[in-house]
Amino acid sequence: MHLVLVEPEIPHNTGAIGRLALATGSTLHLVKPLGFSLDEKSVRRAGLDYWKDVDLLVWDNFDQLLAAHPEARIWFLSTKGKKSAWSVEFQANDFLVFGPETRGLPEQWLDDRAIRIPMKQGSTRSLNLATAVAIILYEAERQVGELE
């Protein structure tokens, strides 16, 4: 799978998602601007001793990522998605796109590929980004059957 974080803001969320990527053999794509530094000193200070092993790609913008992967099968994750993630049939190498923690993905991206994690009505506004990525990633991996 491909995990895409568009303009991530919180380094600890990105670190946890990096660990998920490593554990599942997924590629982590970070789309700038980032709300933190990825220099060696910052990564070491955050205790991310596994970071060097993460399959990581950093993009200047989302269009650059799309140009490099024109055949990408993309799912946009949003609390505003009309379709439940449970209704999606994921495929190997899908791109799972998540927005910034404080504002989510741009409204104009939320087309028929926008999906949401089902939650009890009125229970909470949203889930933590790393939690949301874990839920969707492991559902996709469960469907594809590449992890045992």
Per-residue pLDDT of the chain (148 residues; tens, 9 = 90+): 999 999 999 988 999 999 999 999 999 999 999 988 887 777 766 667 888 999 999 999 999 999 999 999 999 999 999 999 999 999 999 999 999 999 999 999 999 999 999 998 877 888 999 999 999 999 999 999 978 7
Distance CA 138, CA 119 (A): 17
Q: Which domains, from first to last, does the chain contain?
A: 2-144 (3.40.1280.10)
Is the pTM for the entire model greater than 0.85? yes
Give the Å distances, CA to CA, from 145 to 97, 108, 139, 142.
Answer: 21, 32, 10, 5
